[in-house]
Amino acid sequence: MDWVTLSEADLAATISQREIDAFRQDASTDGTDAVQALLDRTAATVRVYLASNTAVRLDPDPLAIPPGLVSPACAIAAYDILKRLPVPVGEDRKNAKDEAMAMLSKIASGQLNVAAPDETGNSVASSPKSAPAHPQRLLD
């Protein structure tokens, strides 16, 4: 299974482009794209949880994650963006982040499995994939 790298388009499926742009304007101080930097840090966090489970084989791309973890990763990133902006963070956003972190903890403890990356190790831009055969146990 091709693993994917997080993109701004993925994040825009979770929060508005206006919120993303406000974060970029507020957080970009050194010339780097603050949104992509946040997505890269979020992917790294996801991979730490994956690496905690010795049964999970990581993609060689240090920013690639399984497609089934794009939405949870974006829930985490969205929360991080919104807590920086001068707006109240809704309970639904906090709950989505907490659920994403709980899912990662289940993966780390071996309660949930993820599909291994393809043999080539070539990650791709995220795109919709078909549902896994057993979604309660396998995240693509």
Which range marks the domain in which residue 113 is found? 4-129
User: Within a domain: residue 137?
Assistant: no
| CA–CA gap between residue 56 and residue 50 (Å, rounded) | 6
Question: Cα–Cα distance between 30 and 71 in angstroms, integer?
Answer: 28
Q: What is the pTM of this model?
A: 0.82
Q: For the chain, where are the alpha helices, taking DSSP H only? A: 8-12, 17-27, 34-51, 70-84, 91-108
57 lies in some domain: yes
Within a domain: 134:
no
Residues 6+ apart with CB under 8 A from 40: 6, 63
> Token digits for 108?
């780390």
Q: For the chain, what is the domain count?
A: 1
pLDDT truncated to tens, each residue of the chain (140 aa)? 799 999 999 999 999 999 999 999 888 777 789 999 999 999 999 999 999 999 999 999 999 999 999 999 999 999 999 999 888 899 999 999 999 999 999 999 999 999 889 876 454 444 333 333 334 444 44
* Residue 139 falls inside a structural domain: no
Distance between CA atoms of residues 127 and 83, nearest Å:
27
